[in-house]
Every structure is written in C-alpha cells, then in structure tokens.
C-alpha cells in the first residue's frame, strides 16, 4: 500500500518543464517495520534517474547521470545511514497516524438490488447489485439462487472511488426467471459483522396489477353506492316525518276534546307571562344620553350643520325639537 504522505525535496523549473524533482513515498501493508518500504525517487525532466529503496539499502541509478550520482551517494556512509533511517523516522510515524485515524475505520455499505434489460437481449432479465459508500476498498459481492452460490453469468465492475474516500461497486447477474426461485445478493465487508443478504423481490405481473386495480375500483364503487342508498333513505325518512305531521294535525283538528285542551292555553299560559312582562319590563324607562355637535355638510350648500345624537334610551318612542333663536 502506498501512503498518501508525500514529501518534496527540491524542484526547479523553467518554461520547458521540470528540471529536477525529488519525492519520498512509503509502501506498506501494516504498521510493522518489516512491512514498510521507504523510497526516494529523483527525476530530471520528468524521467526518474536514481532511486533509494530501504529494501535494497542503497541508491540505484537508471541513467548514466543517475548511476554516477548513485555511486557518489553510496560512498557517503553518513548520508546512506540517514536515508536508511527514514523508514522508521518518516514512514513509521506517518503510517501510525493513518492507521489510527483512517485505515482502522470502516463505513458500512448501502446496497440496492434492481433489474434492468440485458445488453443484446440474450436473456430476458438482468439483476444489478449496486453497493455504495463503503470503506475500506476490499469487498466481496456474490449471488445465491435458492441458497446455492451462482458462479456463472456474473460480471462485476472494479471498486472505484467516489472521490470522498468511499467506494462503490456493481455486480450484474444475467438469469432466466423461474417460478418460485429465490435470488439473493450477498455482500461481505470489514464493516459488517456478518454478510449482508438482499433478496430479490420480483415486481408484480401486469395481470395481477390489473386485477388489484379492478378490485379497488369495485370496492370504491360499492362504497359510493351504499352512501347514495343511505342518503336517499334519510331523505325519505324526512319526507315521511313531514307527511306524518300533516296527518297528525288534520286528525287533531277534527278532535273536539283535543281542541278544548289547546284553546284555553292562551289565557292559562300566555296571559300570566304577558302581565309579568308589562309589570316588570315595559313600564320601565331609561334616560337617554344626548350629544350635540357641528359638522361640515357635503356639497358645501350650508356653512355648518348641527347634529344631535341620542343614545341608550328605552322605550323606543322619542320626540326631539330644535330651537333656533325665537323660532
């Protein structure tokens, strides 16, 4: 594994491009020193001419100029010792930081299983198992049919980066649909305690969808029909009650005994209430409030207009009079 840690030693440039470019990098697959390699590469006009590798322990030249420099630097034991120490002082330090903050972390994938048309139409259907946003990069995607692993008719993409340290991968399965079979996509990843299994649920056939739509329409029509029947029944009950009241009034009007009971109610019930009202309410009076003020009339035909407002009086009958001078 190559650490993203990068160190530039020196760079000169002109209008034609780079003249000298030195870089350091670390290759590793664990935090142990024996699993780490420190490399310093020196470039001239974008061509690597000499390299130091901690696994080799010395400089190696790739051009005449590089071999002359390698021979010179390898004779300098102090410089050579300093380069050999970079594996521990430079790489080990940065790799520990990466394992602590990044490489030991993991992000669970999200999985989407869907169908699409197979290219060339050699098969009636193709299933796609898309796995998104997982970390680290290493992942395994496999297929099961009725619990048995499928090994043929499968194509998968490489794991490629989203650009935000997360990855995605897509696996395609060409298959012939069979009634009652169960197809599953299985995802194994370091972030999962056990493999994630996503079962394929086929879409409902067109005929079944039409049956369900028809059944729903039938039920809705039945509900509307029952609502109409209930409304008509309630309307019929109201008209029946009206007809019943007319018939009852006609029968009571022909009954002399019933009429003899209702006619005295005028004197027995209404007269005492009327006397109480005349005694306690109607003879009383409330003194009015009066406000007299002037206002400008509309049209400008008179210089002024006097307005007399009378408020909060009882009973209703009222008489007003205006005196102007001797008139």
Is 324 inside a domain boundary? Answer: no
Domain extent for 92:
7-103
Nearest in space to 41 (alpha carbons), one of 26, 33, 31, 140: 26
Say whether both 60 and 118 belong to one domain.
no
Say whether both 135 and 179 belong to one domain.
yes
Is 298 inside a domain boundary? Answer: no
Q: What is the pLDDT of residue 1?
A: 39
pLDDT in tens, 136-184: 899 999 999 988 998 888 999 999 998 888 999 999 998 877 777 889 9
Query: What is the mean pLDDT, run by run of 10 residues, along the chain of 327 residues?
Result: 45 59 89 92 91 95 94 94 93 89 85 78 77 92 91 89 90 83 92 92 64 73 76 61 66 70 69 68 72 62 65 72 58
* Domain boundary, last residue among 199, 225, 250: 199
Could you give the maximum distance between any two Cα atoms of the chain, in Å?
145
Rounded Cα–Cα distance for residues 191 and 131 (Å): 13
Is 308 inside a domain boundary? Answer: no
Task: Assess contact for 83 and 56: CB atoms under 8 A.
Answer: no
Rounded Cα–Cα distance for residues 176 and 256 (Å): 94
* Domain boundary, last residue among 165, 199, 233: 199
Say whether both 31 and 12 belong to one domain.
yes
Contacts of 215 by beta carbon, 8 Å cutoff, 6+ apart: none
Q: What is the pLDDT of residue 282?
A: 65
Angle made by CA atoms 45, 49, 52, in degrees to the nearest 5: 130
Residue 34: CATH number of its domain: 3.10.320.10
Q: What is the pLDDT of residue 309?
A: 75
Is 240 inside a domain boundary? Answer: no
Is 135 inside a domain boundary? Answer: yes
Number of folded domains that form the chain? 2
- What is the radius of gyration, based on Cα positions, of the chain? 51
Say whether both 98 and 114 belong to one domain.
no
Q: What is the pLDDT of residue 139?
A: 94
Contacts of 68 by beta carbon, 8 Å cutoff, 6+ apart: 61
Is 74 inside a domain boundary? Answer: yes
Is 95 inside a domain boundary? Answer: yes
Say whether both 12 and 99 belong to one domain.
yes
Rounded Cα–Cα distance for residues 67 and 84 (Å): 19
* Domain boundary, last residue among 78, 103, 128: 103
Rounded Cα–Cα distance for residues 60 and 49 (Å): 9
Say whether both 92 and 124 belong to one domain.
no
Is 134 inside a domain boundary? Answer: yes
Residue 141: CATH number of its domain: 2.60.40.10
Say whether both 90 and 13 belong to one domain.
yes
């Amino acid at each position: 594994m190559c650490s993203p840690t990068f160190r530039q030693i020196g760079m000169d440039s002109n209008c034609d491009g780079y003249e000298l470019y030195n870089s350091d990098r670390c290759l590793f697959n664990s935090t142990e020193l024996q699993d780490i390699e420190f490399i310093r590469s020196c470039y001239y006009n974008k061509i690597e001419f000499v390299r130091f590798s901690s696994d080799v322990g010395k400089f190696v030249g790739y051009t005449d100029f590089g071999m002359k420099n390698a021979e010179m630097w390898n004779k300098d034991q102090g410089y050579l010792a300093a380069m050999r120490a970079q594996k521990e002082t430079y790489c080990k330090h940065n790799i520990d930081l990466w394992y602590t903050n990044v490489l030991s972390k993991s992000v669970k994938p999200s999985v989407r299983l869907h169908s699409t048309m197979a290219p060339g139409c050699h098969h009636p259907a193709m299933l796609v198992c898309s796995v998104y946003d997982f970390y680290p990069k290493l992942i395994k995607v496999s297929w099961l049919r009725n619990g048995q692993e499928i090994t043929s008719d499968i194509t998968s993409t490489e794991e490629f980066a989203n650009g935000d340290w997360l990855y995605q991968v897509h696996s395609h399965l060409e298959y012939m649909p069979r009634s009652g079979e169960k197809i599953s996509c299985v995802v194994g990843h370091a972030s999962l305690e056990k493999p994630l299994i996503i079962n394929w649920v086929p879409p409902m056939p067109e005929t079944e969808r039409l049956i369900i739509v028809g059944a729903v329409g039938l039920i809705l029509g039945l509900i509307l029909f029952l609502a109409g029947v209930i409304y008509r029944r309630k309307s019929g009950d109201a008209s029946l009650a009206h007809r019943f009241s007319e018939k009852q009034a006609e029968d009571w009007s022909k009954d002399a005994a019933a009429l003899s009971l209702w006619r005295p109610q005028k004197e027995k019930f209404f007269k005492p209430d009327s006397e109480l009202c005349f005694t306690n309410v109607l003879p009383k009076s409330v003194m009015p409030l009066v406000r007299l003020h002037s206002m400008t009339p509309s049209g400008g035909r008179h210089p002024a207009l006097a307005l007399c407002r009378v408020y909060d009086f009882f009973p209703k009958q009222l008489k007003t009079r205006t005196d102007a001078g001797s008139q």
